[in-house]
Each structure stands twice: as C-alpha cells, then as structure tokens.
A and B are shown apart, each in its own frame.
Chain A
Amino acid sequence: MSVIQVPVGPQHPALKEPERFILHVEGESVVKVDVKIGYAHRGIEKIFERKMYIPGVFVAERICGICSAAHAVAYSLVVEKVAEVEPPERAKAIRTIAFELNRIQSHLLWLGILAHELGFDTLFMLTWRDRELVLSLIERLFGNRVTYGAVVPGGVRRDISDAAAKETVKVCEKIIERAREYLDLCLSEKTIVMRTENIGILKPHQSIALCAVGPVARGSAVRFDVREDEPYDALELLDFQMVVEDGCDTLSRTLVRVKETEVSAQIVKELAKKLPAGPIKIRLPMKLPEGEAVSRVEAPRGELFYYAVSKGGDKPYRMKVRTPTLANIPALCEMLKGCHIADVPVILASIDPCFACMDRVEVVDSSGRRRDLEEMLRRRGV
C-alpha cells in the first residue's frame, strides 16, 4: 500500500496551539512522523536579557499560562543560585504551595482536555468545575488566577494568613476526594479504558533513550521526578511519594496525572497545616556577581530547566529555558508510530503538549529545504 502524507497542523481541531506534524500514513496506520516546530516563537530568551532580575520573573511566568508557577519558581531558583542567597523557610513553603496548586489545576485541566478528545464532554465539564475550586483558591491566596505574580527571586510577595491556610486545607480535602473519584472513573469506565489502553505505547527503554520527562516518563515505568531526585524549596522537608505506572500507554499516563493530583493536594494540605513562621522575603542585591547556574524543577508537564549566566550587573547575560514539551516531542513521534489516525488526537493530548511554551528556535533556511526536528535537534545537540 502506498504511503500518503496527512498534515496535522499548524491549524487542526485537535491542536490548541500551532505546530505541524506530517503523518506518513499507510492505510489507516501511521508509519512515520515529521515535526516542524517554531510557529509560536516569541523571542522570550532575548527579552530576559533586557530585563532586570526581579522584573524578569514576570516574563518567566508568562512563558506558560498553565504552568506559570513552575516557571516563576525555576527562574527564582536560578537567580538565587547565581546570587548565592537562600530564601526564608516560610517563603519556601508558600512557593511550594503555589507550585503544587499549579500542578493540581494543570492536571485537572489536562484530564478535561483528554476527556474532550475522547468525546467525553461530561468528564470535561466536571473536571473543569473542580479546577475552578483551585483557581478560586489561588486567587484568594495570591490575588491572581493564572499568572500569580507571587513568587519572586528571594522569596514571595504575599503572605498566607491563618484563615487562608485553613481554607486551603479545606479545598485540598475536597480535591483529594475528587481525584479519587476520577481515578475510579478512569479505571472503571470502559469507553475511556478502550480508547486509552495500549494506545501510544512508549517502552521504558525508548523513554530513556528519547529523554522523555514528567508524566510521560513516569507512565512508562521510568522513575524520574525532579521533586525526588533533586528536591527544591519546601519539598526537602516532605515525605514525597513518586507516582509511577508501568502500562507504558495513554491510560497509564492518565493514571499518573490523576494520582499526582492527589499527591499534590496532600503536599499542599500538609504545608498549609504547618507553615513555618518567619519573614517571607529577603532582599536580593541589585547587581549579581559573575557566575552561572542551572535550576531544574518538576513542572506539571515534566522537568523544566533554566540556565542563567551573569557577567555582573543587574541583568542576566543569558537565560536559557527548556520546557518539558520540547523534551517530549521525540517520544511523541515514537508513540505515534503504528497508531490509528483516530487515535492521533488522543496521543497528542497524552503528552500534555504546550507547544507555544516550547518554541525557542525557528529554523529559516533560505535554500527552501525543509528540515525536520530530529535533524535539527541532532545538529544542536539538544
């Protein structure tokens, strides 16, 4: 049978953001995938170089609307490492609360999107209703729903009052209850299991070879979570349970995220119950010493990586951001191989893509030759 090319994207109903996948299709099944990235390149890394260290965090937050707290924390950590300062304990705890609440709302959002891709709109509506609880709580704690503006290098900008902490505990209990319900639903609802089980297979050795991160790696039985490998902020003090599933398919990636929702809610609950006393912020010097640093955090979508170079002065010389979706693209291409066309939207959703966050580079070739991502990545040694 001849192989035909089916383009998915840059505009496609299954994609919320512009990215191009060219599926080489034989009959009904996909044999090869070419990816073209770079449609939503925003030049963010260049903007960092023109911003002072503290205002820079607000740029970082705007890289991704859904994992905004992860970007803010990663940026703050890298700046603090360059400045060689340590934020106070209370600030660390509040940061972790922001971070994990962020993960809860991101995973609930994702579960809704998966349900929507499966045509299960009721689950979509219900998860987004519960997400609203978390967003309202975030607004109560930090003043904003999407970009919190709470985390800054050196600490946080807003304290959590006792009343707010009590409310946080209450909301977390509700979320834990709901997460268990959803877990039960994902395992018992046959139509969901049918559409996700053995779909988008990524074997553990492939996951390691292709450097998959986050729930994609953990759904393939790879024990990889920055929160455990290299704990940051208040996570060092907590007894953290990593969630790993060994199904290697879309269903196990779903289960990882649903279980992580519960784990995160437990973390927030624990932290809100015993917030350490003390100041919430230390002053960062205006000019940072020369040096470079790397920070890694576990964003909802996987390992988020920041690299900063300071040449002295009040602005970074270079700020490099690697978002988890970019790391998961090669794994995605592997998952798509051999799948049915009807499963493509589900598999695409299963890596929780955030294409607009990941575009850091755009290849413009004046000779007009199209280069695929694999070649590009190999060239740049990413």
Chain B
Amino acid sequence: MWWIPGALAFFIVFAFFIEWVDRRFVARLQDRYGPIYTGTGGVLQPWADFIKLLSKEDITPAASDKVLFRLAPLVLPIFPIVGLCLTPILGKPIIGFDGDLIVAFFLMSVYTIMIFIAGYGSGNSFGIVGGTRAALQMLGYEVPFALAMIGPAILAGTLSISEIAYSQSNIWYAIPLALGFAVFMVCSLAEVDVVPFDIPHAKQEIVAGWETEYSGRKLALIHLAENLEMVFISALATALFLGGGYGPFSPPIPPAVWFIIKTLIVAIVISNLRAIFARFKIITLVEWSWKYLLPLAIVQLLVLELFFELGVIPWP
C-alpha cells in the first residue's frame, strides 16, 4: 500500500498532462500553436495556470450561499479521484471490489449534481442557468450512458471494472460492442462538458455558466476537477472497452504503460471531437439522447443477447 500516495499524485500530474495534450492538440487542429513557452513545448503551462489561479484574489459574492459556494469546489475533485482509484490505470486498482462499476457510475452522477449545486450556490443568474443546464443535460445522457456501460459487464460476467479490464485478453470489447462504445463516447463528451455538449458553460450565451462567480483558488480546484474528470472518463473507456492493460505485445512493457497510452489516445479522440462540432442546444441534446442514443444502447444489448443465443460468444 506504500504506492497509494504516489498513485494519487500521479493522477494529478497526469490530469495536468492531459490538459496540455488537449490544448496543444486542439490548437494544432485550429492552426494555432497553443501553450509553448512554459517548460518543454509548454508542458508546464497547466501547472503555471493552476499556481497563478491559486494566488489570485478569491471573491465570495454577497448573494451566494456561502456554505455551498465554498464546499462545491473542494468536493468536486474528489469524485474523479475516487473514480480513478477504481480503475486499474496502474496495473491494478487502488480499491477494487465487485460492483465498483456501479460506484463509478454513481460518482459521475454525483459529479454532475455537484456542478448543479456549485452553480446554484453561486447566487448568480448565469450560474443558476448553467447549473440547471448541467442537471437537465444529465437527464438526457445518463440512461444511455449506464446502458452502454452494462454491455462490457455482461460480456465479462462481472461488475468490477478491473475484472472487466482483465477479461479482455482475447478481444477488446470495443469490437463486439462497437455500438455501445460509440454511445459511451458520445455520452462521455456530455459528461466532461466539451464542445458539442458544453452547454452548461456556453460562454456566448451564459458567460461561464455555473463557473461564472468562481475565482482564485476555487476556480483552480474546479479546473483540476475538470481535468481529472477527463482522465477518469478516458480511463473508464480504456478499462471497459479498449482492453485495459493489454497491448499488442506485453513482455517488455508493463500493463500500466499500455493503459496510460490508451487513456491518452481516448483523451485525444475526445479533443478531436470537441474541435469539429458546433454546440448543440439543450433541447436538441435531451431530445436526441432519448430518440437515438437510448434506442441504440438498447439495440446493443439486444445484439449482445443475440450473439449469446447464436453461440457467437460463449456465455460468461
């Protein structure tokens, strides 16, 4: 257990690294440079931003609910960190038990609810609208998201994230569950609030949405939480669908390295997706998730059932 503090530190370092990758990648897609000055190729820029924000003035608006306003940014990063502890990102999970997939899903929902509370507690009308939008958005994508995650659990015959990851030694679940993986990726865009679904902080409509009133240390923690959430969702996608720590060849390279490489690739895919779309309207998002995403997720489960019945895939 000596490595747990190291692992927690690694999550945060990795979160900042992924922010840098995301910023650089999107900048290159947009024909810009992105951060290049701090550290080699600008890799320390997220750290610099974080430290600078920590030193900035921290304002608590008079109209805010003081307890919620102060609590929300402190609590927000906890959920993705706990979620990351459940994934076998370093070869094995820090805490792994049967049923932790449900806990992971619960953590994602609580994260969104915390966003709502953060917006509501700020007492700003843009903050409240942003928070409401986050909650409304969750109504849309949550059910298909859960259904998409059930697919790998059925295939592996377990509700433990690490067991699901370990059981993909023969085939990555993204292959039989291609449809479910697609639904998962679309919903994860909504979960991490990036461009087609960055509705809760659509800056052209509602300033910074639920983050509007946050500044200084609180904003730094919120940004950290958002980066960690990105890592968490990418790691979850890797564990559930992309074969976890298994790579094309294993002996010289430990599973943790494969896992981290795949997580990075998923994060890059999310960055790529966020660069090529315009923003959806909240109505369209909710409507589409119930009209298309949910039926697709159900179809995926039916297809899985059919595979079992036809004997294409043996019962777990």
Q: Which of A117, A119, A122, A129 has a CB less than 8 Å from the CB of B198?
A: A119
- The chain B residue with its CB closest to the CB of A120 is B278
Contacts of A13 in B (CB 8 A): 203-207
- With an 8 A cutoff between CB atoms, is B315 at the interface? no
Q: Which of B29, B204, B275 has a CB less than 8 Å from the CB of A14?
A: B204
Contact A122 B204 (CB under 8 A): no
Contact B31 A125 (CB under 8 A): yes
Question: A76-111 toward B: CB 8 Å interface, digit per residue (1/0)?
Answer: 000000000000000000000000000000000000
> B60-68, B168-176, B281-289: which one contacts chain A?
B281-289
- Cα distance, A344 to B282, chains bound together (Å): 14
- The chain A residue with its CB closest to the CB of B202 is A119
Kindly identify, within residues 40 to 70 of chain A, every residue whose CB is under 8 Å from any CB belonging to chain B. none
- Cα distance, A129 to B33, chains bound together (Å): 13
Contacts of B202 in A (CB 8 A): 119, 342
Contacts of B283 in A (CB 8 A): 340, 342
> A188-196, A228-236, A295-303, A307-315: which one contacts chain B?
A188-196
Kindly identify, within residues 192 to 211 of chain A, every residue whose CB is under 8 Å from any CB belonging to chain B. 192, 194-195
Question: B80-120 toward A: CB 8 Å interface, digit per residue (1/0)?
Answer: 00000000000000000000000000000000000000000
Contact B31 A342 (CB under 8 A): no
Most interface-central of B30, B198, B207, B282 (chain A CB within 10 A) = B30
Contacts of A14 in B (CB 8 A): 204-205
Contact B207 A115 (CB under 8 A): no
Contact A126 B31 (CB under 8 A): yes
Contacts of A194 in B (CB 8 A): 278, 280, 284
- The chain A residue with its CB closest to the CB of B129 is A341
- With an 8 A cutoff between CB atoms, is B42 at the interface? no
Kindly identify, within residues 248 to 285 of chain B, every residue whose CB is under 8 Å from any CB belonging to chain A. 275-284
Whole-angstrom distance from the CB of A120 to the nearest CB of chain B? Answer: 4
Contact B282 A342 (CB under 8 A): yes
- With an 8 A cutoff between CB atoms, is A345 at the interface? yes
- Cα distance, A324 to B283, chains bound together (Å): 34
Whole-angstrom distance from the CB of B192 to the nearest CB of chain A? Answer: 15
Contacts of B205 in A (CB 8 A): 13-14, 341-342, 344-345
- The chain A residue with its CB closest to the CB of B125 is A6
Contact A118 B278 (CB under 8 A): yes
Contact A117 B204 (CB under 8 A): yes
- With an 8 A cutoff between CB atoms, is A162 at the interface? no
Q: Which of B195, B206, B279 has a CB less than 8 Å from the CB of A195?
A: B279
- With an 8 A cutoff between CB atoms, is B123 at the interface? no
Most interface-central of B278, B281, B282 (chain A CB within 10 A) = B278
- The chain A residue with its CB closest to the CB of B31 is A129
Kindly identify, within residues 102 to 141 of chain A, every residue whose CB is under 8 Å from any CB belonging to chain B. 115-123, 125-126, 129
- Cα distance, A343 to B281, chains bound together (Å): 9
- Cα distance, A186 to B29, chains bound together (Å): 18
Contact B278 A119 (CB under 8 A): yes
Contacts of A123 in B (CB 8 A): 278
Q: Which of A120, A125, A341, A342 has a CB less than 8 Å from the CB of B277?
A: A120
Contact B282 A192 (CB under 8 A): no
Whole-angstrom distance from the CB of B90 to the nearest CB of chain A? Answer: 34
Kindly identify, within residues 20 to 34 of chain B, every residue whose CB is under 8 Å from any CB belonging to chain A. 26, 29-32
- With an 8 A cutoff between CB atoms, is B196 at the interface? yes
Contact A340 B281 (CB under 8 A): yes
- Cα distance, A207 to B132, chains bound together (Å): 37
Q: A13-B207, A340-B281 are known contacts. Are A191 and B30 too (CB-CB below 8 A)?
A: no
- Cα distance, A116 to B278, chains bound together (Å): 9
Contact B279 A120 (CB under 8 A): yes
Whole-angstrom distance from the CB of B203 to the nearest CB of chain A? Answer: 6
The 10 closest A-B pairs by CB, nearest first: A119-B279, A120-B278, A125-B30, A191-B278, A118-B278, A122-B275, A191-B277, A117-B204, A342-B281, A122-B30
- 17 CB-based A-B contacts, threshold 8 Å: A13-B206, A14-B205, A118-B278, A118-B279, A119-B195, A120-B277, A121-B30, A122-B30, A122-B275, A123-B278, A126-B30, A189-B278, A191-B196, A194-B284, A195-B281, A342-B202, A344-B205
Interface contacts beyond A189-B278, A342-B282: sample of 14 additional A-B pairs, CB < 8 Å, sorted by A: A13-B206, A13-B207, A119-B278, A120-B277, A121-B30, A122-B275, A129-B31, A191-B277, A191-B278, A191-B279, A195-B279, A342-B281, A342-B283, A345-B205
